[in-house]
Every structure is written in structure tokens, then in C-alpha cells.
Amino acid sequence: MSITVRVPTTLRPLTGGSPDVSVEAATVGEAMAALESAHPGFNERIFDDQGALRRFVNVFVSDEDIRFLEGLDTSVPEGATVAIIPAVAGG
């Protein structure tokens, strides 16, 4: 299934500046693998050494945080958007 991955500004150098990347995937994990395959360097930026999403990386499927769904096993419907959003901290 073709889905869109929305890439944050800080990671766009990996995609040649493109804010959106189309990949074939049925789950968030497959989408992240396809993104890494097409644009190497994503995995080291968004996953920790154990293969889990880094604490400061949030991933949403159609405005739903995957941490409250099925994590990387969350299904992604045809035509949906997966958004990678870095956490923002401030004081």
C-alpha cells in the first residue's frame, strides 16, 4: 500500500529536502524500513540501539500517536500519512 511519510525539517537533508516521501508499507515499522532503504540514515536518527523509537521522536498515523496504538506494528491504511515529529522542549 502506498502511504506518505511526513519528514520533519531536521531530517529533510536525508530526503534531498523533500517534506513528504511516498513508500509502500502496511505498518509503521514497514514504513520506517522503506524510508531507511530509500533514504539511508533515518534509522540511526530515530531509533535507539535496541531498535525502539528514541524518547524524543513521536510518530503519528492520521493524528494518532503510535505509542497509544500498537507501536511499530500499528497498521497504516492505504493513502494514510505517517508523521515523524521530534519532541520540543523548552523552559
Residues (pLDDT < 70) of the chain are 89-91
Q: What is the pLDDT of residue 89?
A: 67
Cβ neighbours, 10 Å, residue 59: 22
User: What pLDDT shows up at residue 1?
Assistant: 81
User: Could you tell me the residue ranges of all domains in the chain?
Assistant: 2-86
Q: What is the DSSP string of 26-41?
A: SBHHHHHHHHHHHSTT
- Reported in sequence order, the residue ranges of the chain that DSSP labels E, i.e. its strands, are 2-6, 20-24, 57-61, 64-65, 81-86
At 45 the pLDDT is 94
User: What does the pLDDT read at residue 87?
Assistant: 86
CATH superfamily of 2-86: Beta-grasp domain (3.10.20.30)
